[in-house]
């Protein structure tokens, strides 16, 4: 009910201060992911935190850094018989790739325990199981992916997949093997099977997120 003698305009101006404003929308949560290279024992794994709103093209960039790959081969994401990647690279349209640059991580992972496969290098066929370990509410969106931990160095590029890597390890740590010197030279020096968490996070911090991708 208005005040006697008050015009409609005056009543509107008086009541506008009583209008409840909508609460600010909560920022997208952070996802904690565990990445495990399939078929390797003891396991090669990493734990990384990224915004749930990050696009898959940037997830690929983060995975390459934390795992230690050199982004020298094709890749794709796989879940429920669907495939995400770079459509321009699928020259014969065999995979029916969904554009990774237009898909956010939250599209693939919605609940704790959800997972997908990240495939790198179709020749060596490195399959990584990626599991959503935790969904963490935040006050503001994290701008930079952060690696929380991991174990073991990733295999050398073009080593020949799981079987080739097993043979590589048998030789590279046996100086008496006739192929030892050859493999040391091929690998670019002695192979140290260790994971450097500090170096990985320093590389992530130096990158400008979200990265721009030229196709």
Taking 80 as the threshold, does the pLDDT of residue 214 lie above it? no
Contact 194, 154 (CB under 8 A): no
**Rounded mean pLDDT of 175-194?**
88
Q: Which helix (DSSP H) or strand (DSSP E) does residue 181 occupy?
A: helix 180-186
pLDDT-based confidence at residue 92 (cuts at 50, 70, 90): low
Please tell me whether residues 107 and 38 are part of one structural domain: yes
Is the backbone of residue 207 left (phi > 0), alpha (psi -120 to 50) or beta?
beta
Question: What is the domain extent for residue 135?
Answer: 30-152+196-206
Please tell me whether residues 123 and 160 are part of one structural domain: no
Taking 70 as the threshold, does the pLDDT of residue 175 lie above it? yes
Question: For the chain, what is the largest distance between any 2 Cα atoms, rounded to a whole number of angstroms?
Answer: 104
| pLDDT tens per residue, range 105-158 | 999 999 999 999 999 999 999 999 999 999 999 988 778 899 999 999 999 999
For residue 137, being part of any structural domain is answered with yes
pTM: 0.85
CATH for 101: 3.10.290.30
pLDDT-based confidence at residue 184 (cuts at 50, 70, 90): confident
**Pairing mode of beta strands 45-51, 146-151:** antiparallel
**Separation between Cα atoms, residue 171 and residue 177, nearest integer Å:** 6
- H-state helical runs in 44-160: 56-67, 105-108
Please tell me whether residues 103 and 130 are part of one structural domain: yes
Please tell me whether residues 91 and 129 are part of one structural domain: yes
Q: How confident is the model at residue 16, as a pLDDT? A: 59
Taking 60 as the threshold, does the pLDDT of residue 59 lie above it? yes
**Separation between Cα atoms, residue 129 and residue 114, nearest integer Å:** 11
Q: How confident is the model at residue 166, as a pLDDT? A: 95
Total of domains in the chain: 2
User: How distant, in Å, are the alpha carbons of 1, 3, 13, 38, 77 from that of 9?
Assistant: 14, 12, 6, 69, 58
pLDDT-based confidence at residue 25 (cuts at 50, 70, 90): confident
Please tell me whether residues 139 and 39 are part of one structural domain: yes
User: How distant, in Å, are the alpha carbons of 37, 43, 50, 174 from that of 134?
Assistant: 19, 21, 11, 41
Taking 80 as the threshold, does the pLDDT of residue 164 lie above it? yes
For residue 9, being part of any structural domain is answered with no
For residue 147, being part of any structural domain is answered with yes
Mean pLDDT lowest for which of 35-44, 65-74, 188-197? Answer: 188-197
Q: How confident is the model at residue 23, as a pLDDT? A: 61
């Amino acid at each position: 009910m208005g005040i006697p003698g008050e015009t409609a305009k005056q009543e509107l101006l008086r009541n506008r201060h009583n209008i409840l404003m909508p609460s600010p929308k909560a920022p997208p949560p952070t996802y904690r992911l565990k990445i495990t290279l399939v078929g390797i024992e003891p396991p090669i794994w990493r734990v990384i935190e990224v915004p749930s709103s990050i696009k898959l093209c940037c997830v690929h960039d983060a995975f390459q850094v934390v795992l230690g790959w050199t982004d020298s081969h094709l890749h794709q994401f796989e879940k429920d018989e669907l495939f995400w990647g770079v459509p321009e690279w699928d020259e014969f349209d065999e995979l029916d790739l969904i554009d990774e640059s237009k898909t956010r991580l939250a599209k693939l992972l919605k609940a704790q325990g959800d997972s997908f496969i990240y495939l790198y290098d179709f020749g060596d066929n490195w399959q990584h199981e990626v599991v959503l370990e935790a969904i963490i509410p935040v006050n503001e969106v994290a701008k930079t992916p952060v690696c929380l931990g991991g174990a073991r160095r990733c295999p050398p590029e073009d080593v020949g997949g799981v079987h080739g890597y097993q043979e590589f390890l048998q030789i590279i740590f046996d100086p008496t093997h006739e192929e030892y010197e050859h493999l040391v030279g091929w690998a670019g020096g002695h192979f140290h099977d260790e994971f450097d968490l500090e170096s990985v996070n320093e590389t992530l911090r130096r990158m400008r997120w979200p990265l721009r991708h030229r196709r």
